[in-house]
Amino acid sequence: MAATGDAAYIKQINRSLILQKIIEKKMISRADLSKLTDLTRATISVQAADLLEKELVVETQLEHHSVGRRPIMLSINGQAGFVLGIDLDLGAMTFALSDLAGKVVRLETIPLQSDSYEEVVKTAAKNIRRIQSYCEESRYGLVSVVVGVHGLVTLEEHVHFVPRLGWTDVSLKTDLEEAAGLPITLENNANLCSFAERVYAHPEAKNLLGASFSSGIGLGMMMNEDFFKGENGFAGEAGHMIVVPNGRPCSCGNKGCWEQYGSESALFRELSVKKKQETITRADVIDWIQARDETVMEMMDEFLFYLSVGLNNMINLYNPNVVVLNSELLRFYPEAIKRIEAQLVSDISHYRELHISKLGKQACSLGACALGIKQFFHISTLQLEMD
């Protein structure tokens, strides 16, 4: 009995490794698969036949080949099924539908008329069912739904607290599964953003920090190619690290939290007072930056200072390979990276690369899609490209 179980386990490991390499290379021959995986050609042939029968891969014969027979290439059959990634935020939900090869085939944002828990669940379930109908003709249909939550999510996928929506201890996974009639995976949005950065932009980085600076500060940590979540799943709440003792009051109950100084929303609040303008938008600030408005440039320097203070602490704590900053403002601020790097001068602050995210607002939903693909194929690592 044990031998049978061991054989099945080894077969699954081999299959995962093969799928991982096919996804990574996008198109690869059986011979090259054997070289890359150190599996025998016989093992590759058996696995390939099984994957072809299940319609998870397809064969393509190269049109041009310099020497000998044209090799038959294997690639993922993206149209065999689909995954749905959802970014659940205040005021809107973004739905990204990806095929199994990682190509986003639908991307839409649905406004939320209410932040009522019941209404949000109802709206989410309605749109999940609607999008599921687009996938019905494929072999496997909608294989995964992953929802990114802007709040505390436990290891058991229970929503402990969503500050912007005012939710405390809600059973979103269970309620959404009952309403939509599908299995749902819940994950913290910052974790999904960092996962997206690793999968789509920095696949070589086993240790990556992804920090978002919009409504607050979210920190997602990839350590040895996996999420670092802590004891309960709440690791990464760096926005509530105190950087100014007895400073500005925060909704968490403390004073002087990082997100009260180093987030875009904090900058908007301060600018609203300085500019005597009730509502400040990101577009307003970008226009002022481009016009070199003196007040705004001074406040941006302060924003970058506090951003760097907290970032320095995070780098010292986790020693990442790559650090990615997700902020629309930084993309439009001249030499933002150089200005931040100039303030990360400690001899013990070690990281290799610092980047501004190119994924932007899509990072969470793309990370959710990528996680769904990874789970469906049961692979240990994933590498995709943007369209």
Count of CA atoms in the C-beta half-sphere (13 A) of 342: 8
Question: So what's the pLDDT on residue 347?
Answer: 72
Two tokens, residue 144: 């995964």
CB 305 within 8 A of CB 192: no
Which residues of the chain does CATH 1.10.10.10 include? 2-76
- Yes or no: domain 194-361 corresponds to CATH 3.30.420.40: yes
Amino acid 214: pLDDT: 82
Query: In the prediction, which pLDDT does 67 show?
Result: 63
Residue-level pLDDT, tens digit, the chain, 387 residues: 445 558 888 889 999 999 999 999 999 999 999 999 999 999 999 999 999 999 999 998 776 656 666 789 999 999 999 999 999 998 899 999 999 999 999 999 999 988 899 999 999 999 999 999 999 999 999 999 999 999 899 999 999 988 888 899 999 999 999 999 999 999 999 999 999 999 999 999 999 999 998 878 989 999 988 898 888 888 888 889 999 999 999 888 899 999 999 999 999 999 999 999 988 888 999 999 999 999 999 999 999 999 999 999 999 888 899 999 999 899 888 889 999 999 988 776 678 899 999 999 999 999 999 999 999 999 999 999 876
DSSP sequence for 40-94: -HHHHHHHHHHHHHTTSEEEEE-S--SSSSPPEEEEE-GGG-EEEEEEEETTEEE
pLDDT at 64: 61
Q: Identify the CA nearest to 18 among candidates 2, 34, 1, 42.
A: 34
pLDDT of residue 252: 81
Angle at which helix 41-53 crosses helix 2-25, to 10 degrees, equals 80
Q: Which CATH code fits 81-189+363-377? A: 3.30.420.40
Residue 326 and residue 217 in contact, taking contact as beta carbons nearer than 8 Å = no
Q: What is the pTM of this model?
A: 0.91
pLDDT reported for residue 1: 42
**Could you identify the residue written with the tokens 């058991």?**
156
CATH topology of domain 2-76: Arc Repressor Mutant, subunit A (1.10.10)
Residue whose tokens read 């993922």: 76
Q: In what order do the strands lie in the sheet with 322-326?
A: 226-227, 218-223, 208-212, 322-326, 353-356
Reading the block at residue 297, the tokens are 């440039």
List, by residue range, all CATH 3.30.420.40 domains of the chain.
81-189+363-377, 194-361
